[in-house]
C-alpha cells in the first residue's frame, strides 16, 4: 500500500507536461497572429519562465512517452522565445539578453557533454537561431515585417559571452564536423553560427 502511494504522484504528473506544452502552443500562436509583444512581456516573469522551461526536466527520464512530452515543452518554450525575439524592438532584445537568450538557445546544441538534447532537428534550430540572432545584433535589421533594429554591438557581446560561458563555442565547432545522415543542415548552420560568433573579434578590432 505504501509503495502504491509513493508511485501515484508520478503517474498523476504524466499529463502535466502536455498541459504546459498546450499553453506554450497557444502563446506561440498569439504572438504569431497578433504580434503584440510589448503587452505580452508585461506579463510578470514571462521571459524568465520561458527561459526556465528550456531546461524543463532535462536529464531526467521516466519513460519514452513522458520524455517526449518534456521535450515538447522545452522545444515550444524555445519557439516562444524565438518568436518574441523576431517581433521585438530594441527594448525587447535587451530584455531577452538580460534573460540570457544566448545561453538558453545554446543549451540544445550541447550534445558532446551529454547535457543537451541530441535530436538533429533541435540542434539545427538551435544553431540557426544563434546565428540569426548574433547576425541581427551585429548588422541591424531592416525587414518590413519585423521592427527595424540598429546594430546593437553591446548586446551581441553579452550574448557571445553567455554562449562562451555555457561552453557552446566548442559545441559549435563539434557540430561543424557532424557527419549525421538525413535532410538536416547541421554542418551549414554550425558554420553560420561560428561565423556570427567570430564577428565579435572583427568588430572589436
Q: Judge whether 28 and 46 are in contact, CB under 8 Å.
A: no
Mean pLDDT over residues 16-28, rounded? 90
What mean pLDDT value characterizes the chain? Answer: 74
Distance CA 180, CA 182 (A): 7
Mean pLDDT over residues 14-22, rounded? 82
User: Within 13 Å and on the Cβ side, how many CA atoms surround 33?
Assistant: 6
Region 2-204: CATH code: 1.25.10
The domain segmentation of the chain, as residue ranges, is: 2-204
Model pLDDT, residue 181:
47
- Bridge partners (DSSP) of residue 149 are 141
Q: Judge whether 88 and 96 are in contact, CB under 8 Å.
A: yes
Distance CA 7, CA 91 (A): 46
How does pLDDT run across 86-132, given as a tens digit for each residue?
Answer: 888 999 999 999 999 988 888 877 654 444 555 667 777 777 888 88
User: Within 13 Å and on the Cβ side, how many CA atoms surround 171?
Assistant: 26
Model confidence, pTM: 0.75
Helix%, strand%, coil% for the chain, nearest 5: 70, 0, 30
How does pLDDT run across 151-198, given as a tens digit for each residue?
Answer: 999 999 899 888 887 665 555 655 555 555 443 444 554 555 555 555
Distance CA 93, CA 137 (A): 9
Amino acid at each position: 500500500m505504501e509503495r502504491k502511494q509513493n508511485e501515484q504522484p508520478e503517474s498523476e504528473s504524466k499529463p502535466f507536461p502536455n498541459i504546459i506544452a498546450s499553453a506554450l502552443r497557444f502563446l506561440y500562436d498569439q504572438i504569431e497572429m497578433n504580434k503584440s509583444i510589448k503587452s505580452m512581456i508585461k506579463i510578470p516573469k514571462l521571459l524568465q519562465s520561458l527561459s526556465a522551461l528550456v531546461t524543463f526536466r532535462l536529464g531526467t527520464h521516466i519513460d519514452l512517452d513522458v520524455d517526449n512530452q518534456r521535450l515538447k515543452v522545452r522545444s515550444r518554450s524555445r519557439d516562444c522565445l524565438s518568436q518574441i525575439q523576431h517581433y521585438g524592438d530594441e527594448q525587447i532584445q535587451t530584455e531577452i539578453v538580460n534573460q540570457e537568450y544566448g545561453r538558453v538557445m545554446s543549451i540544445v546544441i550541447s550534445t558532446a557533454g551529454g547535457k543537451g538534447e541530441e535530436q538533429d532537428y533541435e540542434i539545427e534550430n538551435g544553431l540557426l537561431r544563434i546565428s540569426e540572432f548574433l547576425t541581427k545584433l551585429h548588422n541591424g535589421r531592416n525587414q518590413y515585417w519585423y521592427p527595424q533594429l540598429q546594430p546593437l554591438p553591446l548586446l551581441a557581446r553579452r550574448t557571445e559571452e553567455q554562449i562562451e560561458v555555457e561552453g557552446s563555442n566548442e559545441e559549435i565547432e563539434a557540430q561543424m564536423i557532424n557527419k549525421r545522415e538525413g535532410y538536416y543542415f547541421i554542418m551549414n548552420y554550425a558554420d553560420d553560427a561560428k561565423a556570427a560568433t567570430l564577428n565579435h573579434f572583427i568588430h572589436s578590432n
